[in-house]
Structure 1
Amino acid sequence: MPFDPATLLYNDAGLIPAIAQDAATGEVLMMAWMNADAVAQTLETGRVTYWSRSRQAFWIKGETSGHTQELVDFRVDCDRDCLLVRVNQTGPACHTGARSCFFTAVHDGEEVSD
């Protein structure tokens, strides 16, 4: 069956969350937003493309930083309201320079950074 990005369940702003996961290690790298056009561009080009809410513009991961995400596998969750993009990540995924955006844990009510 052909995939149609219009069949996804987008929020009121026309966006859907996309979790980026390292295809080799399974590490969760980041979460960002996509709209239908970003989904289509990602699938067409193999370069993961997000929608920047702050800039109101497309954001091709790594276009300016060189920390690219090459699409390996594109998955839709059972409710069709969240995406998983499995990627080959070059460099850190987080804008802070960390490998993953999820470097802060909460233990016994305290934040602990890895």
Structure 2
Amino acid sequence: MTSNLDPAIAARLKRSPDGLVPAIAQQYDTGEVLMLGWMDDEALHRTLTTGRCTYWSRSRQEYWVKGDTSGHVQHVRSVALDCDADTVLVKVDQVGAACHTGARTCFDADVLPLGTPGK
């Protein structure tokens, strides 16, 4: 698919073999990590230009805008690439739940136990 992403940004991205980069959504004011989605060049372009997070669904093979179905919208506050340009951090103002399960975040329901350091 042809993308309208700025060629200067596209040239910097390091994509997976299927053309995607992981996109971490984080609550802009609290730092809470909300979810991880996937973006290709066009999804990133749409995110940058619409102010709403657009992701690529690997299972459905289609774009989806967070909140279009659920009403749990992500209003984009900033977008940054990590130092390797292989991950996107999208700081958002999350309305409602970020997780498809209805939880605020995808990362609070299955916390793994830590071992004792040094033993």
Q: CA deviation at 1:108?
A: 4.7
Which sections of structure 2, spanning at least 5 residues, go unmatched? 1-6
Q: Distance in 1 between matches of 2:48 and 2:113?
A: 38
Of 86, 99, 111, the residue aligned with 1:105 is 111
State how 1:7-18 maps to structure 2 within 5 Å.
Answer: 7-18=12-23
Q: CA deviation digits over 1:42-76, x for unaligned, max 9?
A: 00101110000011000100001000001001010
Q: Is the 1:5–1:40 Cα contact (8 Å) retained in structure 2?
A: no
Q: Is the 1:9–1:80 Cα contact (8 Å) retained in structure 2?
A: yes
Residue matched to 2:54: 49
Q: What TM-score, normalized by structure 1, do the two folds share?
A: 0.90
Residue matched to 2:32: 27
The higher radius of gyration belongs to 2
Of 93, 97, 100, the residue aligned with 2:98 is 93
* Percent of aligned pairs with the same amino acid: 55
Q: Distance in 2 between matches of 1:23 and 1:34?
A: 19
RMSD (CA atoms): 1.4
Bigger strand fraction: 1
Which sections of structure 1, spanning at least 5 residues, go unmatched? 110-114
Structure 1 outlier segments of 4+, above 4 Å: none
Q: Distance in 2 between matches of 1:67 and 1:3?
A: 31
Residue matched to 2:71: 66
Q: What TM-score, normalized by structure 2, do the two folds share?
A: 0.86
Q: Distance in 2 between matches of 1:45 and 1:10?
A: 22
3-state SS of 2:22 partner? strand
